[in-house]
Chains A and B, each alone.
Chain A
């Protein structure tokens, strides 16, 4: 009897182990071969789903491909490209983009939202700057469901791109950076069609801006809490007036955002290159993330008392709205952009962000 049992169990165990191995191998293959997927639940405002590979086919099936959520208003107008997750560890930027996809509605014009702009970097957290920062965050929705969101890395995963050079030379400026910056999307703009994965992601973004005639690009980021960049709007020189008007309006609403003009030597950065290489007004936003502070061990990137996630997401979205409102003031009436939410963005302050998600 025992013998029979043994005979029955062994193949089952083997089969289980085999299946497990296939699943693990399969998932690894999927992970390293294709784009990571995320729990994003588009709302009624999303009218079309595209991929970055629609703008550069070479990205299809690679970890660098990423969904592009298109939100088109009933009234024709201008076009906004809203980027989250250029650095997917800058989680307020990712969550602000996801909230926009899940709850935003566009009344005029079009909004293209990419929550994980560098989707390779979004796959896991390599611990840059703070090895004790999390691999993901859990948020509880109004219905009590727990939703999980990945907290990624600053850099394209090393296994997705060839070994870092000793010195990374930005193209086309020739500016030199540390080798690791070859995997930093925000040092690779305007990208290269046949370049590295990071350069290809950038190139696809620039193709999108050109083909869709984007008027405004907003690249959402976070910095460490003590960085001078914390709570800042960086505007391309052509966009400086809009940035100045937006920061003045924000201050009246109690949101203090410093304003900085993008300098010419900032080659490879979005606020510089989208402004230089396209007709779009380019902005980069920064909120302070405790997860990027080296001195904080096991940072609570959701409920930090000084910089809770809901507060940072509110700052990001209020700033986006202020930029769009002031862009609309100077744009031709048929190029205006209007975004609405079914709640006041200020309600995010002190609230549980999960309750605003679907």
Chain B
């Protein structure tokens, strides 16, 4: 009789434990930061017509993304896309070659962003050319479009302490502009010290699809 009671007690304990564990596990999971994952294919384009978008193309290749690259994308290029990567950075020569000025570029990119929102496509805004793309023209682009992104990837230092360890030319966040934009607009932001580090960020954001 005693042995039977002991058996029932142990069985109840095990059952209680089994029922409680998932709750504990769930509580533990809830403490982890939310995993951000975007879908492919991806359209990669430039806002400002610098050569940064060409580098983003190489980064996307190395990250194994399914992507289309258009230096100056049209609205039609969004067809079938699940994500848009824009590389922000104004080049006077690049804009000249495209036959536009900075105002026309902003107007075009605004149209692109508006259409992207209608299509419910996510936007990743990159700034990967360091301080050379932080002049007045580039900042017109940075301050207009970074706040409208769903995710920011910035080459530069996240903090002043980190800035001491990074080449000034490579720091696109030297005055904390992107830190402020991300905080004010609650946009997740990833800082990278070197451009090639963007590959790892892209791999995390766009996990490879399961085969079969």
Contact = CB atoms under 8 A, between A and B. Distances in A.
Contacts of B177: none
A243 B54 contact: yes
B55 A263 contact: no
Interface in B26-55: 50-52, 54-55
Contacts of A263: 93-94, 96-97
Interface in B128-149: 129-130, 132
Interface string B93-105: 1101100000000
Interface of B is mostly: helix
Contact of B170 (A243, A249, A256, A260): A256
B44 to A, nearest CB: 12
Interface of B: 50-52, 54-55, 57-59, 91, 93-94, 96-97, 129-130, 132, 167, 169-170, 194-196
Contact of A251 (B51, B91, B195): B195
With a 10 A CB-CB cut-off, give which of A247, A248, A259, A264 has the most chain B CB atoms: A248
Contact of B58 (A228, A235, A244): A244
Given A248-B195, A248-B196, A240 B51 contact: yes
Given A240-B51, A248-B196, A251-B195, A256 B91 contact: no
Contacts of A245: 58
B13 to A, nearest CB: 56
A215 B133 CA distance: 32
Contact of A261 (B51, B57, B58, B196): B51
A248 B59 CA distance: 9
A241 B58 contact: yes
A240 B194 contact: no
A265 interface: yes
Contacts of A251: 170, 194-196
Interface in A242-275: 243-245, 247-249, 251-252, 256, 258-261, 263-265
Nearest to B59: A248
Contact of B130 (A243, A248, A249, A256): A256
Interface in A159-206: none
Contact of B129 (A235, A240, A258): A258
B96 A244 contact: no
Interface string A213-232: 00000000000000010010
